[in-house]
Amino acid sequence: MSLARATLLLRQKHAVGSVSLIQRRFASHDSHAHDEHHDDTHYAREAGFSTPFWRHTVLLSLLAVGFYKWAPSPNQDVYLTRWLAQYMTPSEIWGAINEKHLLLSQQASDNTILQTNAKRPNMHRYRYPQILDTGSPHLQPVGRVPDMSSTVVRSG
């Protein structure tokens, strides 16, 4: 749809809406406008404090207050506390397990650091090590050829 056609349709729609609005306004000032208006619309009853939300809120509040007032204090030895303690692992065992875990974690960390920082030994590798044996050691001027007597060729 072209832009001009869409604009034309929009203007027509707006014009029809404004005409009906004007007719309604003039109709309200008619002679019948002063008569008593009767509204036949049925409105839903407003929700007060009798809704399930407020009922549950009040019940939960009463339960919380009752539990706080009559619940045993933490220092009392209650049957439920003794029953739970019977099935719990003692703290000494958990301390030993945690200490062992700490030592193993430290050892794993040390191994990781050792492997991360590891370097190969510094070594100069010649591409053709047999070149070291090719020259004659005789008739060389002093200081021109380095002393290679302590150099050992390794394979690998």
User: Which two tokens mark 84?
Assistant: 């739970």
CA distances from 116 to 75, 104, 119 (A): 52, 18, 9
Distance between CA atoms of residues 35 and 27, nearest Å: 13
> Which residues, other chains included, contact 27 with Cβ-Cβ below 8 Å and sequence gap of 6+?
33
* Residue-range domain boundaries for the chain: 75-115
Distance between CA atoms of residues 44 and 42, nearest Å: 7
Closest CA to 154 of 123, 118, 120, 114: 123
Q: 30-87, pLDDT tens digit by residue?
A: 555 555 667 788 888 887 888 899 999 999 999 999 998 888 877 777 888 888 888 9
% of the chain exceeding 70 in pLDDT? 81
For the ranges 17-31, 69-83, 120-134, the lowest mean pLDDT is seen at: 17-31
Give the three-state DSSP class for 142. Answer: coil
Closest CA to 151 of 119, 124, 128: 124
Residue, of 27 and 59, whose pLDDT is higher:
59
Tokens 């014009």 correspond to: 15
In terms of average pLDDT, the best of 105-109, 123-127, 137-141 is 105-109
Confidence (pLDDT) at 38: 74
Rounded to two decimals, the pTM is 0.34
